[in-house]
Structure 1
Amino acid sequence: MSTDMPPLSTEKGNASQLPRPQRVLACLLCQQRKVKCDRKYPCFNCIKSRAQCVPATQLSRQRKRRFPERELLERLRKYEDLLRQNNIKFEPLHNEATSGKFSSKLERPYDSDEEPPKITRASPSSDANSDRVYDSKNILDVMRQEFRDPDKDSDSSDDDVNAGEFKDAWDQAAPYTDQLLFGSRNTAVDISTLHPEPVHIFRLWQLYLENVDPLLKVTHTPSLQGQVIEAATDLSNIRPTLEALMFGIYCMSILSLEVVDCHAIFGSPKADLLTRYQFGCQQALLNCKFLGCNERDCLTALLFYMMSVRSSTTPQALSSLLGVAIRTAQRMGLDNESALIKCTPLEAELRRRLWWSLVLFDTRISELADSKTSTLTPTWNCRIPLNANDSDFRQEMKEHPQDLESCTEALFVIVRSELGNFIRHARYHLDLTSPALISLVKDVHPSPVIGGSEVDGLESMIESKYLSFCDPENPLHFMTIWTARAFIAKCRLAEQLSKVPSASTPQADVQPDFTVSCALSMLECDTKLLNSPLTNRFIWMFYLYFPFTAYIQISQKLKRRPISSQAEHAWEVMSDNYEARFSFLRQEGIPMMAPFFKIFARFVLQAWEAREASSRHTGELLTAPRIVVSIRHSMAQIAQKTESFATGPPDTGAMVGVDGFPMPTAMDFDNHGLSFCFGEDSNYPAGELGAYSNISMTAPLDFDLDQLDWSAMDWSLGNTPGSGSTGLPLPR
C-alpha cells in the first residue's frame, strides 16, 4: 500500500506547479455603469443593451494612486472660497502666494511616492484687504467637469474638451493681424538702428527713474535695470517684449523733459526724438504680436506708447486703442484677484499696479472723449497695490512683503489708487454715472448719517494713513499731499453738485458758499504745486489737466453775486492760479489754435463785467484783478491775429508748438469735453495743427453759460492719469 501512494511532499510539489486560474473581471461597460456582470463573454447586460462587450482582462489596469488628503483639502479650499466671496475675514490655511500653485497641483492625482505640498499659514492681515472675489467660469471647463469619468483619478483625458486647443486652432487658422492698428509692413524694419547710443540709453533710463517711475511704479527697478544694461551691450539681440518696453521708456523719458533741456542733453529737438522712439515702439510691439501677447512687459510698453502720443491724437482715437489694452489686461486676469494669486508676489504686484494705471488712464481719456463708458466701476476686484518699496520684492520670493504703515517709494501710486477706489464705490458718483451698480457697494460704503458726507471718511483715512507720515520737503511727498487734498476738495464739490439735478431734491440741499470754498481749495492746491521748486521734475504731469470745474463754479457764483464775502478772495486766488498756469506764455501772446481759451476767457470776463455793473450803481472805484487784465490783453492779441489771418497768409512761426495755452492739471475730472489740450510741452508740429482747423474761432463765444444745465453734466470724478505730456497723476 505504501508503494502505491506517492509521498506527501511530492503531491505538494506537483500542486504548487499547477497554474492558478485567472480571475475573470467584469467587462468595461459594466464597470462604467456600476452594475453586476455575469462575467461571461459576451455578458448578459451587453447582450441586452446590444453593446459590444469588452472584457477587462484585455486592457492593462492601471494602479490607482490617490493623495489620501486630497478630498479633505479640496473641500477646505471650497469653504475658504465661499468665505472670500461673502467678504468674511478668516485665517486661511495657506497664503495667497502659494494657493495658486497648490490648487494647480490638486487638479492632477498624486503618486504614492510624491511629496504632498507644503502648506504655510499666512498672517491674518494677508486677507484684511480682500474684496469680494468674482471668479467667472469657462463653459468648456464646466462641460469637461460634467463628462469627467468618476473612476479616473485625473479630470483630464485625451478626449476631454480643452479650451487651449480651440485657441491654438484659431491661431493657426487665421494669419497674424496686429497690423490692424499699426499698419502692415512690406519689409522688415531693423529697429536696432532706432535705439539711441548706449550712453544715451543709460541717460534715458536714469531720467525715467527720476521723473516717471515715482508716479507710475509699473516696473520693478532692481530686476529691470540689469536687463536694460545687458540689452544696451547687444542691441541686435534683445528679447522682443523687453525691446518694446525699452522704447516705451525712451518715449516717457523724452516726454518728461522740457524742450530746452531735451535739446541740451541729446542735441536733438524733442519732437524729433519723440517721433523716432514712438515709431520704434510701434515696430517693437508688432514684433511682440501685441494683440495676442500675454506678457506684462508688452502691455506696459503699450501703456507708455499711448501716454506718449496723447498730445498728438484725438481722445476718441486714443480711447479706442485703450479699449484694446483694457481687454488684453482682462484676458491676462489683471482685474481678477483669483488669477493674480496664482502669480509670484512680485508679478502679482506689478500686474495690480499696471491694471490701476490702465484703468485710471482710460477713465481720463473717456472723459475727454465724452464717453459714458469707464472701467472705474465696482465690477472688478483687483486690490490696491501694497505700500512697499521695490527693494522689498524679489523675483524668487514666495511670501508677500508686509504692507508698511509709512511712506514708501510707491506712496503716490498707493494714494492715487486709494482715491480711485473710493470713487468707483462712491454712491454719489455711481448715482450720476451708473445707478444700476449702486447695489454692488452696499457693504463697501454704508449709508452716511443724515447731512453727512461720504468724503469725510475718505479725508480722515488719507490724512491719518498716509499724509501724516509725509515730509513736505520731499518732492514726492509734497506732490502727494497737495494733489490728494485737491482731489478731496473736488470730491466735495461733485458731491454737492450731485444733489442739484433731480426735481425731487430741494434746492436748499445745495450749499452755494460751500461749493465755492471747495473750488477755491482746488485752485489753491494747484497753485502750490505749480509754484513749488520741489515739483520741477514732475511738472510734465500737470500739462493735461486744468481746474476747469473750479473756475466754472467760482465764475458763475461771482456773476450771480458779484459782491459777496468771498468775492475779493476768489479773484485773488484765481489770479494767483492763472499766473502760475500761464507763466510759460510766449511774449507774442496766445496763438490762434487755442479755441478753449476763448471759452475760459468768456466766463471769467462775464463774472468781472457783473462786478463792474454793480459798482456803477454804488459809485465804487474798482481795480481790475490780474487775471482780468491778462485775459483782456490776450484776447486783444487773438483779435489782432485773427485780422492778420484774414488779410494775409498765416504766420506759421507763431503757431509752432501751440504753447500759448496751459495743459490741464490732475484736478480736472469732469466729462464736459471742454478739456484743455494745448501746452508748452505739447510739441505739435505746425503741420499737425490742421487737425483743429475745423474748430470755429467765434462759435465758442456765442453761448450763454447761464443757460447750461450744470446739474445734467456728467461729473464723473476719476483717479485718472494724464497722458501726452503727463504721467499718471493723482485724481482731483
Structure 2
Amino acid sequence: MLQEEGRSIYLESQGWQTWINITRAHGGAAKLNDNSPLGSTLRPGKHLPHAFQGSPWRQDVQSSLSSRKCPVSVDGATKLWTVFMQRVEPIMKISFEWTLERLQSALVDSNLWENLSLGEHALALSSCFFGVVTLSDNECARDFSESKSSLLSQYRQHCEDSFARIIMLAIDDILTLKALCVYTKASIDVVTNQSLWSLMGLISRSAELLGIHRDGELMGLSPIETEDRRRLWWQVQHLDLILAIKNGVTPLTFTADWDAKLPLNIDDCDITLSSKTTPKERTGLTGISYTLFTYWMIDQQRNFRQKRLNQRSPVDRSLLGPLTTMMVDDLEAGLQTNFLQYCDPIKPLDLLLQISARAVVCVLRLRGMHEMRLVSDQLDNKFHDKYFSMCMQALGYTITTYSQPMLRPFHWLAETSFGWHAFIALLLDMPQLRDSNKIKAAWTLLDDLYAMVAFLTDFSEDKRRLSAADLLIVTWNVCERKPELGSMRKPAFVAKLEDDISRFRDKLNMAEEVIGVSGSIKPTESEFTENQPGTGDLLNFNFADIDWSYWDTVNLGLPNYSAEHA
C-alpha cells in the first residue's frame, strides 16, 4: 500500500509503475477536478481520458455536478433513514456507527451535506432507496402518501443521479463501493438481474484495484482500516454469489483466490479510529453476527470447493456441483457451534438468524437431491418422499418467518429469497404421490403459505406468481380426482386463487381494449378435464424437462407447460 496525497494506493506488482503525482508535476498550482482522470488517485502517467468519459451513465454529468443540494426532503430522509437502520443495517453491516451517524446528520443539514464527498452522497441516498424497498404498499401510502412504485422510481433515480457524478470506471474510494453494494442489494428484483450481474463486475474489479481482496494485516494497515475493508470485501462476495445464482451462472466466489479474512465478531464500540491493536473477538452474538453468519457460510463452502477444485470429473455437468452430504452436515454443526447456540428466540434478529440458518441448510440439501433428480430417473420412492418432505420444509421456514410479528421488518428479505424451486417442485410432484396423508399435508401447507405470504397473489409485480398460481390450479384439478383423497373438498384458498386469476386477466383484457394493443392473453382456465391443455401435460411432465433457471427470472412471459420450458 502506497500513500499519495492522503489516499492509499494498492500495487501488487513491484515492477515499474505508471502512476505519477500530477499535482507535483504541475508544481502544486493546478486545481484538479475530481472527475478528471488527472484528479484520480490512480491517475496515469499519460494524460489520457477514461473510457466512456469515466461513466457508463450517458447523462449530462456537468449539469448534475452544478448542484450539491440533497435531493431528498428532510422529512422523507428522516423516515427512510430510520427504516434503513431498523430493517437493513442489522443484516448488512458494512459501515461503522460513526460513518452512519455522519450521513444521517448530513441528510437533514444542508451545510453538512455540501461537505460530504460524492461517495458519501451516493451511500446516503442508496440507504434511503433501500429503506423504500423494505416498505409495504400500505406503509408507503400511510407514511408518504405515494405508491411504492412511485417512491421506488424516485429514490432509484436519486441514487443513479448521484452515481452519475462519480467516475464509475475509475472508482478510487471505499465509500463509493459501499454505496454500490447497498444499491445493488436493494435493486434485487427491482431491476434486471442481468444488469446487476454486470454491475457486480465493475464493483469486484474496482475493489481488487484498491486491494480490498488482500487482508489489511498483511499490508500493515490500522485495525480499523483492516476491519472496514474486510466487511466490504465479504459483502462484495456475498452479492456476487446471490447474483450468480439469480442469473444461473457459475459464481467465481468459490474459486478465485484472495486472503482477506472474515470480519471480527465484535461490536462497533470495541474498536475506534485510533485503535492501535486489534480487539479480541467476543464470544456469542454481536451486532455483526447476522452479517457474519452469511460470510461464514460462504467461507466454509469456499474452503470445501477449493479442495475439490482439481477432483472434478470430465463428465460433471456443473463447474461446482452440489455439496456432499458430509459437508452439509459439517456446515450444520458449525452453525450450531458458532451461532445458533447463542440465539435467544425472543430477540427478532436472533430468531431471524435461527430460521435463516436452518433454511440455508435445507436448501443446500435440497440442491443436492435436485441435482440427482436431474441426472437420474432410477430413484426409488423413498428418495422422492424425502425430496418432497424437504420441499415442504423449505416452504415451512418461509411460513414461519411471515407468521412471527416480530419479524415483520424483515419480510422484504423473505420475499427476495423465496424458494421458488421448492414451491414448483412440490406442485409437480404432488400428482405422483399415493400417500393421501402427505398430499393433504401439502395442501394444508399451501393454504398456510398463501394466507401468510400476501405477495404471492400480487400478479402485477412478478410474472412468476401468476405462472405458479396457474400450475397450482392445475395441480389441484389433478389431485381432486385421485381415489386416495376420497371426498376431500377443494381448499378455500384454491377457489379464491381462481377468482383472483380471473379478475387479474379480466383487467388485462380491459386494458388491452382501452389502449388497443394487439396480441393474445392466455385465457382463464377455471375448470380442467383430462383432454384440456395443461392437465395432460402436467401428468406426463418429466421433472428434468423444466428449465429451472426460469424461476429465478422475472422478465419472462407466461409459461406453456407443454413446451416452453423444455
Q: Does 1:169 align with 2:37?
A: no
Deviation track 1:122-151 (CA, whole Å, cap 9, x = no partner) reads xxxxxxxxxxxxx9962xx2xx5xxxxxxx
Residue ranges of structure 2 left out of the alignment (5+ in a row): 3-9, 22-41, 518-546
| 1:393–1:401 CA contact under 8 A, matched in 2 | yes
Q: Does 1:486 align with 2:359?
A: yes
Query: Structure 1's 348 and 509: CA in aligned 2 closer, same or farther, altered over 3 A?
Result: farther
* Structure 1 residue 207 displacement after superposition: 2.7
* Structure 1 residue 354 displacement after superposition: 1.9
Deviation track 1:588-630 (CA, whole Å, cap 9, x = no partner) reads xx44x75323431344334333322322xx6921212345333
Query: Structure 1's 428 and 300: CA in aligned 2 closer, same or farther, altered over 3 A?
Result: closer
In structure 1, the residue matched to 2:163 is: 285
Q: Within 5 Å, give how 1:427-576 maps onto structure 2.
A: 453-502=326-375, 507=379, 511-576=383-448
Report which stretch shifted further, 195-204 or 286-295: 195-204
* Structure 1 residue 320 displacement after superposition: 1.1
| 2:123–2:178 CA contact under 8 A, matched in 1 | yes
- Secondary structure, in 3 states, of the residue corresponding to 1:491? helix
Structure with the larger RCO, 1 or 2 (CA within 8 Å, 6+ apart): 1
Which letter does structure 1 place at the counterpart of 2:359?
A
In structure 1, the residue matched to 2:497 is: 631
| 1:189–1:283 CA contact under 8 A, matched in 2 | no
In structure 1, the residue matched to 2:523 is: none
Q: Does 1:674 align with 2:551?
A: yes
Deviation track 1:614-671 (CA, whole Å, cap 9, x = no partner) reads 22xx6921212345333323333344345435544489xxxxxxxxxxxxxxxxxx96
Corresponding residue pairs, total:
502
* Structure 1 residue 338 displacement after superposition: 6.3
Q: Does 1:187 align with 2:53?
A: no
| 2:88–2:131 CA contact under 8 A, matched in 1 | yes
- Secondary structure, in 3 states, of the residue corresponding to 1:703? coil
Query: Structure 1's 344 and 267: CA in aligned 2 closer, same or farther, altered over 3 A?
Result: farther
Q: Does 1:206 align with 2:82?
A: yes
Q: Does 1:345 align with 2:223?
A: yes
Report which stretch shifted further, 539-548 or 367-376: 367-376
Return the alpha-carbon distance in structure 1 between the equivalents of residues 506 and 64 of structure 2.
Answer: 50
Query: Structure 1's 642 and 265: CA in aligned 2 closer, same or farther, altered over 3 A?
Result: closer
* Structure 1 residue 268 displacement after superposition: 5.2
Q: Within 5 Å, give how 1:230-309 maps onto structure 2.
A: 232-234=109-111, 235-266=113-144, 269-309=147-187
| 1:316–1:369 CA contact under 8 A, matched in 2 | yes
Query: Structure 1's 631 and 264: CA in aligned 2 closer, same or farther, altered over 3 A?
Result: closer
Which one of the candidate residues 703, 717, 722 is aligned to 2:562? 703
Query: Structure 1's 370 and 645: CA in aligned 2 closer, same or farther, altered over 3 A?
Result: same
Return the alpha-carbon distance in structure 1 between the equivalents of residues 445 and 553 of structure 2.
Answer: 20
Query: Structure 1's 650 and 402: CA in aligned 2 closer, same or farther, altered over 3 A?
Result: farther
In structure 1, the residue matched to 2:26 is: none
In structure 1, the residue matched to 2:486 is: 620
| 1:378–1:425 CA contact under 8 A, matched in 2 | no
Return the alpha-carbon distance in structure 1 between the equivalents of residues 553 and 154 of structure 2.
Answer: 26
In structure 1, the residue matched to 2:476 is: 608
Which letter does structure 2 place at the counterpart of 1:347?
E
Report which stretch shifted further, 537-546 or 168-177: 168-177
Return the alpha-carbon distance in structure 1 between the equivalents of residues 312 and 421 of structure 2.
Answer: 21
Query: Structure 1's 622 and 298: CA in aligned 2 closer, same or farther, altered over 3 A?
Result: same
Report which stretch shifted further, 297-306 or 379-388: 379-388
Query: Structure 1's 369 and 230: CA in aligned 2 closer, same or farther, altered over 3 A?
Result: closer
Return the alpha-carbon distance in structure 2 between the equivalents of residues 648 and 228 of structure 1.
Answer: 46
In structure 2, the residue matched to 1:215 is: 91
Return the alpha-carbon distance in structure 1 between the equivalents of residues 237 and 89 of structure 2.
Answer: 17
Query: Structure 1's 190 and 626: CA in aligned 2 closer, same or farther, altered over 3 A?
Result: farther
Query: Structure 1's 264 and 630: CA in aligned 2 closer, same or farther, altered over 3 A?
Result: closer
In structure 1, the residue matched to 2:25 is: none
Query: Structure 1's 453 and 499: CA in aligned 2 closer, same or farther, altered over 3 A?
Result: farther
Query: Structure 1's 596 and 200: CA in aligned 2 closer, same or farther, altered over 3 A?
Result: closer
Which letter does structure 2 place at the counterpart of 1:498?
E
In structure 1, the residue matched to 2:265 is: 387
Return the alpha-carbon distance in structure 2 between the equivalents of residues 600 and 264 of structure 1.
Answer: 31
Return the alpha-carbon distance in structure 2 between the equivalents of residues 327 and 434 of structure 1.
Answer: 28
Return the alpha-carbon distance in structure 1 between the equivalents of residues 205 and 273 of structure 2.
Answer: 27
Which letter does structure 2 place at the counterpart of 1:453?
M
Query: Structure 1's 564 and 250: CA in aligned 2 closer, same or farther, altered over 3 A?
Result: same
| 2:55–2:168 CA contact under 8 A, matched in 1 | no
Which letter does structure 2 place at the counterpart of 1:514?
K
Which letter does structure 1 place at the counterpart of 2:487?
L
- Secondary structure, in 3 states, of the residue corresponding to 1:173? coil
Query: Structure 1's 609 and 263: CA in aligned 2 closer, same or farther, altered over 3 A?
Result: closer
- Secondary structure, in 3 states, of the residue corresponding to 1:180? coil
Based on CA coordinates, which of the two structures has the bigger radius of gyration? 1
Which letter does structure 1 place at the counterpart of 2:426?
I
* Structure 1 residue 543 displacement after superposition: 2.8
Report which stretch shifted further, 295-304 or 597-606: 597-606
- Secondary structure, in 3 states, of the residue corresponding to 1:291? helix
Which letter does structure 1 place at the counterpart of 2:499?
H
* Structure 1 residue 205 displacement after superposition: 3.1
Report which stretch shifted further, 326-335 or 593-602: 593-602
In structure 2, the residue matched to 1:331 is: 209
* Structure 1 residue 565 displacement after superposition: 4.7
* Structure 1 residue 273 displacement after superposition: 4.3
* Structure 1 residue 271 displacement after superposition: 4.3
| 1:212–1:253 CA contact under 8 A, matched in 2 | yes
- Secondary structure, in 3 states, of the residue corresponding to 1:673? helix
Query: Structure 1's 287 and 645: CA in aligned 2 closer, same or farther, altered over 3 A?
Result: closer
Which letter does structure 1 place at the counterpart of 2:44?
A
| 1:467–1:481 CA contact under 8 A, matched in 2 | yes
| 2:398–2:418 CA contact under 8 A, matched in 1 | no
Q: Within 5 Å, give how 1:648-663 maps onto structure 2.
A: 648-649=514-515
| 1:546–1:676 CA contact under 8 A, matched in 2 | no
Deviation track 1:33-84 (CA, whole Å, cap 9, x = no partner) reads xxxxxxxxxxxxxxxxxxxxxxxxxxxxxxxxxxxxxxxxxxxxxxxxxxxx
Return the alpha-carbon distance in structure 2 between the equivalents of residues 608 and 430 of structure 1.
Answer: 43
- Secondary structure, in 3 states, of the residue corresponding to 1:637? helix
Which letter does structure 1 place at the counterpart of 2:47?
Q
Return the alpha-carbon distance in structure 2 between the equivalents of residues 605 and 371 of structure 1.
Answer: 32
Which letter does structure 1 place at the counterpart of 2:365?
R
| 2:56–2:168 CA contact under 8 A, matched in 1 | no
Which one of the candidate residues 280, 283, 302 is aligned to 1:402? 280
Query: Structure 1's 574 and 422: CA in aligned 2 closer, same or farther, altered over 3 A?
Result: farther
| 1:222–1:391 CA contact under 8 A, matched in 2 | no
Return the alpha-carbon distance in structure 1 between the equivalents of residues 441 and 485 of structure 2.
Answer: 21
